[in-house]
Structure formats: C-alpha cells, structure tokens
Amino acid sequence: MGSALFFLTVYLIYPILNTAYISFLGNGSEEFTGLSNYWYVFTNADMLAALKNNLLWLLLFTSTTVSLGLVIAFLTDRVRYEAGAKALIFLPMAISFVAAGVIWRFMFEFRPAGVPQIGLLNAAMDSLPGLEPVAWLVNPRVNTFALIGVGIWVWTGFCMVILSAGLKSIPIGILEAARIDGASEWRIFRSIIVPMMGTTILVVATTMVIIVLKVFDIVYVMTNGNLGTEVIANRMYKEMFNYHHFGRASAIAIILLLAVIPAIVFNLRRFRAQEAMQ
Amino acid sequence: MAFVSTRDLNAVLTTRLAAGDPPEVSILPNPGFMHELADSRKLVPLHTVLDMNRIRRDYASSWLDLGTHHRKLYAIFYKATSKGTIWYSPKNFRAKGYSVPKTWEEMLALSDKIVSQGGTPWVIAAESGAATGWPLTDWIEIIVLNTSGPDIYDRWAAHEIPWTAPAIRRGFETLGRIVHTPKYVYGGPTGVLATNFINGAYVPYTSPPGAYMNYLGGFAQTFIKRHYPNFEPGEDYALFPFPTIEPEHAGGITGGADVIVLTKDTPGARSLIQYLSTAKAQEIWAKKGGFIASNKNVKLDVYPDVIARQMALQLTNATVFRFDGSDLMPAKVSDAFWKAALEYVNDPAKLDKILKSVEEVASDAYGKGKGG
C-alpha cells in the first residue's frame, strides 16, 4: 500500500498539481498571470474552433462507434464465421493512431480531376460517371468528418468486443422465450438486448468519451488542424512544443482533465457496483 | 560523432534543453528559434570559439548579421537556399515557343497564352504534413520583397507594421491573382491545398506537362534529380529568377539556410563547429550537390552542375537577400501565417478577417517580447 501510494504521488498527483500550478503562470513559467491562460482558452478563435470540433467528435465518434459496435456484435452473434468477421473488425485496433492516419492519408489522396487518382476513395469516385474527385482532407465541408471516420474505423472493433461479451452474458432462456412468443429479431434487439445491456453500453460509451476528448494523433498526422479541423489536444501540443507557452498548454491540459473526470468517476462507480454484485 | 535526426525538432530539442541534457551542436531550421534560445541563454556565443577575423573574411555581412543576437554571433549558416527560383522545362518551353518571362506582366501574359493553348501554367503545391502552407508563404514573402522592398519586409518580419498593412495585403492579393484565376493552377485552389510540395515539383515534367512553371526553393533540384535521374540539368529542367514586379525593387531574393548553433560547450563540439565554418568543409558538400555554401570563399567550380552554380551566383550576387520571413517570426506567428495563406487560397473573400486574425496572434506573440 505504501509503495503504491508513493508511485501514485510521483507519477500522477505531483504532475497534476504541478501542471495546475504552471497553468496560472506566463509563457516561460516565471510570472503569475492569474486566470489569463484560461481566459485565452475560452476566447481565442482557434481554441473556440477546436472546442466546437471536439464537441462534434464527441457526439459523432461516440455514438457511431458504440452503435456500430453493438449492431456488429448482434449481427455476428450467431453466424458460423463469427470469429473471422469479428477479427477483421477488431484488426484496426492493433494499429497505432499514427499508422492509421498515414494509411488513411493514402485512402484520401487527392489528384485534380483528369489526372489518374492513386487514392482508393477518389479512384472509386473517378470510375463512377458524374462524380468529381473530392479533396477529403482539404474541403472544409468534409474534412472533419473524414478524420472522425478514421477514428471510428480504429475504435469500432474495441466497442464490438466488449459489447459482444455483454451480449453473450444475457441468459439464453430469455431470448428463447421471446422467440417462442413470436418476437421478431428487431423486437428482441430493441426490447431485450439493449435494455439488458444498458450498463455495458454506458461503460463502453464513457470509455469512448474519454478517448475522444484526448483525440490528437489522427488530427496531427493527417491535417495538423488546418482548414477547420483543429482539436483541443493538438492545440495543447502546439502551445507547448511549437509556441513554448507552457502556461496555456497547461491550462488546456487541466481543462481536458476536468472534462474527463466525470466520465472516469462514472466508470469507477459502475465498476464498484458490479464488484459489489459479485 | 552521434547524429540524431528528427522531424519534430521543436519537441525534441525543447525537451532535451529543459531536461538539462542538450546535444553538443544543434542544427535549427530558422534563426527565429536561434533568437529564442539565445534569449533564454541556452546557446554558447561563437566569438570565443571561432577566429572572428577569418569568419569576417569568409562570410558576407548579411550572413553574420543573421546569426547575431544582441551583438554576439551565435550561429553559422549552412546549406543556403535561394527561394528566388521558378522551375520549368526548357524542352517544353521550346516545343511551344514560350520564352522565359522577366517581369510579372510578362509572366501573366505567358500564363494567359498557355491557358489559351489548353495548358496549365502553374503548379503550386502547399501540402507539407504538419508544416502545410509554407510554400504559399514563400510566394507571399518574395512578392512582398519585390513589390514593397527590403525595408518594409524587415519591418513586417519584426512586426513593426501590422498584418493589415496595404503592403502585406498586396502580397496576398498578388498571389491570389495566380491562384484564383481559373485554369491558371493545377487542380485549382483545391489542388494547391491538397498537392504535396514534393509531388508538385514533378508536375512540370510529366507528359503531357501537368503544368509549365513551379515556384519552389532551390531544394526542388534534389527532388527533381532523384525522381528523374536521367534528366540533363539546364535542358530537361532549369530555373529562372523570380520576375521583376516593381522595377525599383527588382532582383530581391528570399532564401533560407540551416542554422548551426553550439548548445553545449565541449572541446569536440568546438572543433566540429570550427571545421564546419571553413570553406574547405563546405566545398566537400558542395561538390556532392544539393548544397549551396554560405562561405563566400567556396569556389564556384566545385558545384556539380549548371543549376547549382546558377543558384550559388544568385545568392552571392543578389542586390537584396532576405531570410525567409516566416522563419524569422516567432513560431506562433509563422504558424498563423501558414494557416492564413491556406485559408486565403480556400476563400479569398475572407482576406480581411484572415489578416486581422494573424495580426491578433502577432500582437499577442510580439507583445510578450519573448517570441511566443
């Protein structure tokens, strides 16, 4: 216990307190500047754009990964090739975000119309009549969605695995009784599976929230936040390593931490409740 | 000697300096970073290391000024690059009867002629990973230098005039004259934003040519040579100097160089930096190509081809040479400048708003006096 507390203090508590302290200091961490770093975070135009994008990520990424994961878990549950199908969906998890970003940069690669396309998506668009190649990472109407798509590609498999385990823990008798009573599969999914898996779904969703709030690698590798794709964590990186403004970077870090805390508390409570049941 | 290379120099060097474990010699991409480091006393001044009399014989005063912070020399410059270079294919020009333009007006007339014959005059490729946008700011910088002259340019780089000043606005709009004219640019504005700058350098040499001209720094030669190993320099590819826009400011070129600084004072590091500063050391690299020396006593005949010699002459003979402006600005401002150029290409109607937002970033960054 004592040594655990020691390591927790050195590696977690001290850095958090120190970051909080630095967030009230200026760019070189020399003079006290009050709340000015926090003021900057909530008024600067780039930061506001990043906050808006993080909200979009939060809504779209979380809802899509969880619902897709659930649907895939359900659809593959009773098919012969279940293991193979799930392995394919889970595979991107084995790839780092940076590698995924690099791979998807090739997928999104754009060449002007009339020049042979080398990106898969634009090659497909090119082969269909009436469609023009799209600059996925440049066009401000689609670029954030393209990045969120990459995130979804990576994390859906994780949601699927956890949700699939939850699905399998539903007693088979309940499902069979429903089927004997003549319930359709859709009805079973809606009225039995989703409510019975409520807790699991919430835990997976909060885990996704924690992950999405920290989203960095994909944006850094693929667009570096240009043309309206900025996110908070990339902003933090820039303030820290490009602009050497430790105060602002720390303020952003503290705000990210505060945003993640409710999700962590929720997950811990659920975890404890489950432990207590067993 | 152990050499560590990184694509993320800011992060690596910042961390190592903060941890008290600096490398002995560091090679920085710009003097802006050098000023920041010298200001926080992370650099060893070179007057105690180098024979300053020899240095003054070997280097033009413009190079020494660039390496000086508060009257002390902190850096020598390596691998100088001219950014007054427009790349083209003399073969393609000859096939169509085009001649090299000397003025901005001639260049626009040539562009119109190329369009009327069904060709695309320009390729402008701005994509460069985390540094996307610099090829556009290079354009704007040389335009500002050639329209408003070196004094305005220096005041702009030091933020003594605001970003909303007419000279800067004109820089953006002059680039816009090319980027936003239909059929002028490979892929239009979207092509500018989405094309990688290295891939863009190949576009003038495809068959049929994807474009006829590409404004990109002298380092483009390295890409062209690697991609087309059988090309004859001066025949299959060549460069012409950036054209005159305002006659009174003709011939100004921008450029860059790697900045070599001493981050830890050891005998080994001292002798390395002494050696690197000599003409003899720089001739070795110049001979291999892809390298223009800053040391003026490097002999012209060591350069391997006509293009390299042309660039070396351009750098030593330039009436006005200025370091890449965005490299002189605090990192935060040059970042905002890259971004502004991208946003302007994407939507020229927003120019006022874009310039205002760079001005905000700049007032904030320079106001603190500590570069970001």
The residue in chain B having the minimum alpha-carbon distance to the alpha carbon of residue A101 is: B129
Q: What is the pLDDT of residues B22-32, one digit of tens each?
A: 999 999 987 87
The alpha carbon torsion through B86, B90, B92, B97 (nearest 10 deg) reads 100
Q: What is the pLDDT of residues B231-271, one digit of tens each?
A: 999 999 999 999 999 999 998 999 988 899 999 999 999 99
Tell me, yes or no, whether B71 and B183 share the same domain: no
Residue that finishes a domain, picked among B218, B237, B252: B252
Q: What is the pLDDT of residue B368?
A: 52
CB-CB contact of B141 with B325 (8 Å): yes
% of chain B residues with pLDDT over 90: 71
Q: What is the pLDDT of residue B97?
A: 96
CATH number at residue A162: 1.10.3720.10
Nearest by CB to residue B14, choosing from A113, A115, A241, is: A241
Q: Mark yes or no for CB contact A138/B14 under 8 Å.
A: no
Give the type of residue at A142: V
CATH number at residue B268: 3.40.190.10
CB-CB contact of B245 with B153 (8 Å): no
Q: What is the pLDDT of residue A274?
A: 77
Q: What is the pLDDT of residues A212-271, one digit of tens each?
A: 999 999 999 999 999 999 999 999 999 998 888 899 999 999 999 999 899 889 888 888
- Whether A112 maps to a domain, the answer reads no
Interface of B with A in 161-200 (CB under 8 A): 186-188, 190-191, 193-195
CA distance A213 to B158: 37
- Whether B323 maps to a domain, the answer reads yes
- Whether A228 maps to a domain, the answer reads yes
Interface of B with A in 108-147 (CB under 8 A): 129-133
pLDDT at A273 over 80: yes
Tokens of B223: 């890409």
Tell me, yes or no, whether B159 and B197 share the same domain: yes
How many angstroms separate the Cα of B246 from the Cα of each of B103, B120, B242, B255, B318?
9, 26, 12, 19, 16
Q: What is the pLDDT of residue B330?
A: 85
Q: Mark yes or no for CB contact B331/A243 under 8 Å.
A: yes
Q: Mark yes or no for CB contact B370/A27 under 8 Å.
A: yes
Tell me, yes or no, whether B110 and B228 share the same domain: yes
First to last CA, chain A: 24
- Whether B363 maps to a domain, the answer reads no
Q: What is the pLDDT of residues A122-173, one digit of tens each?
A: 999 888 888 889 999 999 999 999 999 999 999 999 999 999 999 999 998 9
CA distance B271 to B266: 9
How many angstroms separate the Cα of B283 from the Cα of each of B3, B75, B118, B273, B275?
21, 19, 45, 15, 12
Q: How far is A17 from chain B, CA to nearest CA, in Å?
A: 19
Confidence of residue A71 (pLDDT cuts 50, 70, 90): very high
Is beta strand B320-323 parallel, antiparallel or unpaired with respect to B252-262? parallel
Q: What is the pLDDT of residue B370?
A: 40
Lowest mean pLDDT among A67-71, B300-304, B362-366: B362-366
Tokens of B299: 């002999």
Counted domains in chain A: 1
- Whether A226 maps to a domain, the answer reads yes
> Quick check: helix, strand or coil at residue B75?
strand
Nearest by CB to residue B368, choosing from A27, A226, A238, is: A27
Residue of A229, A241, A250 to mutate for B, most B C-beta atoms under 10 A: A241
> Quick check: helix, strand or coil at residue A214?
coil
- Whether A121 maps to a domain, the answer reads no
B18 touches chain A (CB under 8 A): no
Q: Mark yes or no for CB contact B191/A140 under 8 Å.
A: no
pLDDT at B371 over 70: no
The DSSP line for B166-187 is HHHHHHHHHHHHHHTSTTSBTT
Give the type of residue at A56: L
Which 8-state DSSP code applies to residue A32? B
CA distance A6 to B231: 65
The DSSP line for A119-175 is SHHHHHHHHSTT-----TTT-TTTHHHHHHHHHHHHHHHHHHHHHHHHHHTS-HHHH
CA distance B194 to A140: 12
Nearest C-alpha neighbor of B63 from the set B274, B316, B311, B275: B316
Q: Mark yes or no for CB contact A227/B346 under 8 Å.
A: yes
Nearest C-alpha neighbor of A227 from the set B177, B189, B201, B330: B189
Q: Mark yes or no for CB contact A111/B187 under 8 Å.
A: yes
Give the type of residue at A225: G
Q: What is the pLDDT of residue A1?
A: 67
Read off the pLDDT of each residue in B339-367 and give the average, rounded to a whole number.
93
Q: What is the pLDDT of residue B316?
A: 72
Q: Mark yes or no for CB contact A227/B10 under 8 Å.
A: no
- Whether B191 maps to a domain, the answer reads yes
Structural domain boundaries, residue A267: 15-93+142-277
Residue that finishes a domain, picked among B252, B287, B312: B252
Sheet of strand B238-241, all strands in order from the earlier edge strand to the far edge: B213-215, B85-88, B238-241
pLDDT at B290 over 80: no
Q: Mark yes or no for CB contact B194/A244 under 8 Å.
A: no
Residues of chain B positioned with their CB less than 8 A from the CB of A138: 190, 193-194, 346
Tell me, yes or no, whether B248 and B259 share the same domain: no
Residue that finishes a domain, picked among B196, B217, B252: B252
Nearest by CB to residue B194, choosing from A135, A238, A244, is: A135
Cα atoms in the Cβ-side hemisphere of radius 13 Å centred on A107: 12
Q: What is the pLDDT of residues A73-103, one digit of tens each?
A: 999 988 899 999 999 999 999 988 889 999 9
Q: What is the pLDDT of residues A172-219, one digit of tens each?
A: 899 999 999 999 989 999 999 999 999 899 999 999 999 999 999 999
Q: What is the pLDDT of residues A46-64, one digit of tens each?
A: 899 999 999 999 999 999 9
Read off the pLDDT of each residue in A4-13 and give the average, rounded to a whole number.
89
Q: What is the pLDDT of residue B244?
A: 95
Q: Mark yes or no for CB contact B370/A137 under 8 Å.
A: no
Q: Mark yes or no for CB contact B365/A243 under 8 Å.
A: yes
The residue in chain A having the minimum alpha-carbon distance to the alpha carbon of residue B366 is: A243
CA distance A216 to B356: 28
Residues of chain A positioned with their CB less than 8 A from the CB of B130: 220, 224
Helices A97-108 + A120-127 axis angle, to 10: 20
- Whether B204 maps to a domain, the answer reads yes
Which 8-state DSSP code applies to residue B76? E
Q: What is the pLDDT of residue A122?
A: 92
- Whether B348 maps to a domain, the answer reads no
Tell me, yes or no, whether B53 and B158 share the same domain: no
% of chain B residues with pLDDT over 70: 98
CB-CB contact of A116 with B206 (8 Å): no
Q: What is the pLDDT of residue A17?
A: 94
CA distance A216 to A231: 7
Residue of A29, A39, A226 to mutate for B, most B C-beta atoms under 10 A: A226
User: How much is the pTM?
Assistant: 0.83
Q: What is the pLDDT of residue B26?
A: 94
Interface of B with A in 269-328 (CB under 8 A): none
- Whether B334 maps to a domain, the answer reads no
Q: How far is A94 from chain B, CA to nearest CA, in Å?
A: 24
pLDDT at B172 over 60: yes
Q: Mark yes or no for CB contact B190/A112 under 8 Å.
A: yes
- Whether B371 maps to a domain, the answer reads no
Nearest by CB to residue A224, choosing from B132, B193, B343, is: B132
> Quick check: helix, strand or coil at residue A14?
helix
Position with higher pLDDT, B226 vs B294: B226
pLDDT at A29 over 90: no
Confidence of residue A278 (pLDDT cuts 50, 70, 90): low
Read off the pLDDT of each residue in B355-361 and give the average, rounded to a whole number.
94
- Phi then psi for residue B260, to 5 deg, are -100, 120
Q: What is the pLDDT of residues B36-93, one digit of tens each?
A: 899 989 999 999 999 999 999 998 877 888 899 999 999 999 888 899 999 999 999 9
Counted domains in chain B: 2
CA distance B257 to B277: 13
pLDDT at B116 over 90: yes
B102 touches chain A (CB under 8 A): no
First to last CA, chain B: 33
B357 touches chain A (CB under 8 A): yes
Q: How far is CA B301 from the centre of its chain?
A: 24
Write out the H or E segment, with its range, that includes residue B215. strand B213-215
Write out the H or E segment, with its range, that includes residue B261. strand B252-262
Nearest by CB to residue A138, choosing from B40, B186, B193, is: B193
Supply the mean pLDDT for chain B.
92
Confidence of residue B318 (pLDDT cuts 50, 70, 90): confident
Tell me, yes or no, whether B99 and B184 share the same domain: yes
Tell me, yes or no, whether B246 and B103 share the same domain: yes
Tell me, yes or no, whether B107 and B78 share the same domain: no
Lowest mean pLDDT among B108-112, B271-275, B296-300: B296-300
Tell me, yes or no, whether B246 and B124 share the same domain: yes
Nearest C-alpha neighbor of B176 from the set B164, B165, B184: B184
Q: Mark yes or no for CB contact A243/B330 under 8 Å.
A: yes
Residues of chain A positioned with their CB less than 8 A from the CB of B360: 45
How many angstroms separate the Cα of B321 from the Cα of each of A86, B82, B216?
61, 9, 16
Write out the H or E segment, with its range, that includes residue B114. helix B104-116
Structural domain boundaries, residue B26: 22-82+255-327
The alpha carbon torsion through B46, B48, B50, B54 (nearest 10 deg) reads 110
Tell me, yes or no, whether B96 and B227 share the same domain: yes
How many angstroms separate the Cα of B153 from the Cα of each of B92, B160, B175?
35, 10, 16
